[in-house]
Amino acid sequence: MKPQRRIAPGFSGWRVAGIDALAGASIAVAQAPLLAWYLAFPGLIWALWRMTRPSTIAGAWWAGWFVGAGYFGAYLNWIVSPFFVDPWVYGWMAPFAFVLTGFGLGVFWALAAALGARFPNRILGLVTLLAAVELLRGHIFTGFPWAQVGHLWMGSPVEQGAALIGATGLTVATLFAASLPLLARGWGTIAMLALVGGALGFGAMRSAEPPGQARAITLRLVQPNAEQHLKWNPEEARRLFKRQLQFTAEGTPADLTIWPETAVPYLLEYAPEVAGMITSASGGNPVALGIQRVEGDRGWNSLRVLQGDGVLSATYDKFHLVPFGEYMPMGDMLHDWFGIRAFAAQVGNAYSAGQGPQVLDLGDKLGKVLPLICYEAVFPGIPRSVGRPDWILQITNDAWFGTLTGPFQHFQQARLRAIEMGLPLVRVANTGMTAVIDPKGHVTHALPFGTTGYLDVAELAAALPPTPYARHGDWAAFLLLFSLLVLSMARRRPRVA
């Protein structure tokens, strides 16, 4: 007699796991560069159905885990790119990073599916817990709010809802809307269509409203397009620096010239003459630039503003660092034992964190600006944690993220911060996307991705009055989440095999 193969309870084999993973991956087509929200939203309904289909808690765990792994694996496929900047040192880690990212983040969805199976209303229980773990994922272990379900609407009019309830609120509302056809096929589908249609209509009307009076300032956004694997080569560093000086000096000097993250390959502490070279090229006008700074054996990833004869007028140190990219957990031990250090840090084994977000006052003409360095733009809470600026400035080096998906996803999340806060956002990137975004997320000026050059801007859109999200934050999301929790406990739904 042929022995039977043992499998986990409720888990019927790799074929089912593959279907679950495909259901999760179908949601990711909403993300840049595809932005196919009209395909991803039906995919979300499918994924929710797959997670509520197993009849046991163990089966729900497996379904949630593979749906989550498919979603995060497809969405965050760019995670392997940093490992190939220096492939001889880090390349062997790429497949492990891909698998661990997908299945590691998939654990959040597995927990939601397994615990949701114990709720009286299993579908609403799953939706409530998925929304809760997505909120948790944005804060636990320093937070990783990339790939939120609410990001599904980016590129569609529904994204304007972020001005009301933020990205977290969009996540809660999106999961609830997707659950309606599962709760009641006929009326649920009608209710879902009405909810999505209303959100589309609101977004279209808000997006079409005329802009306010623009701020009359000239900006020059420099995109050097430096290849990451050559950026710190001494010869390439000199060529890169000269290229940016040339772009800064051409034509009439701008009121403010902006260079991207870590654009300067030198340290002002050891080469103070560099500051004068930069402001000489700008005609003495201010230049905001990404540069590392050091004190003793500590280093920071910073934005610094120079003007006049190279005078340093403002400094901002990035405080929300990228785990494994800018600092290594147990970094000294990993470096001493294995020679592993953070990818981006060129001083010591890792960067030090700055003191926190701050608004820089650049004078009456340029106004007050909130600087964000790279990864900080994916956190909706940062712009709300300080006094309201006139505009947001993000400098970034997206060469780490490859050329297919990562830079474009990062750009879309920066747009979402502008919509949430009702503030214009200027984004200056090493390889792109370099652009100017108005307070409703419209791209008013942009440089093509992967090009070398600069972008001159003659005016900057005025800030809108503070949006409901800017005033109240995630309270609307918490209220929606609490309401779902109450509904999920309200009645017992017959079990479906």
Catalytic site includes residue 273: no
Q: Which long-range contacts (CB under 8 A, 24 or more apart) does 126-131 make?
A: 126/48, 126/51, 126/52, 126/179, 127/48, 127/175, 127/176, 127/178, 127/179, 127/484, 127/488, 128/481, 128/484, 128/485, 128/488, 130/175, 131/171, 131/172, 131/175, 131/480, 131/481, 131/484
Q: Report yes or no: 158 and 203 within 8 Å, Cβ to Cβ.
A: yes
Rounded to whole angstroms, the Cα distance separating 149 from 144 reads: 13
Other beta carbons within 10 angstroms of residue 451's beta carbon come to 11
Catalytic residue among 374, 376, 420, 440: 374
Strand partners, 55: none
Measure the CA angle with vertex 44, ends 38 and 49; round to 5°: 140
Rounded to whole angstroms, the Cα distance separating 483 from 480 reads: 5
Catalytic residue among 134, 159, 231, 261: 261
Query: Edge-to-edge, what's the strand order for the sheet holding 391-396?
Result: 360-361, 368-373, 391-396, 425-429, 435-437, 443-446
Rounded to whole angstroms, the Cα distance separating 360 from 142 reads: 25
Catalytic site includes residue 134: no
Q: Which residue has the tokens 């579908």?
A: 123
Rounded to whole angstroms, the Cα distance separating 423 from 383 reads: 10
Rounded to whole angstroms, the Cα distance separating 478 from 168 reads: 9
Catalytic site includes residue 420: no
Rounded to whole angstroms, the Cα distance separating 341 from 82 reads: 13
Catalytic residue among 134, 159, 318, 326: 318
Q: Strand, coil or helix: what is 368?
A: strand
Measure the CA angle with vertex 386, ends 374 and 293; round to 5°: 45
Catalytic (active-site) positions: 261, 318, 374
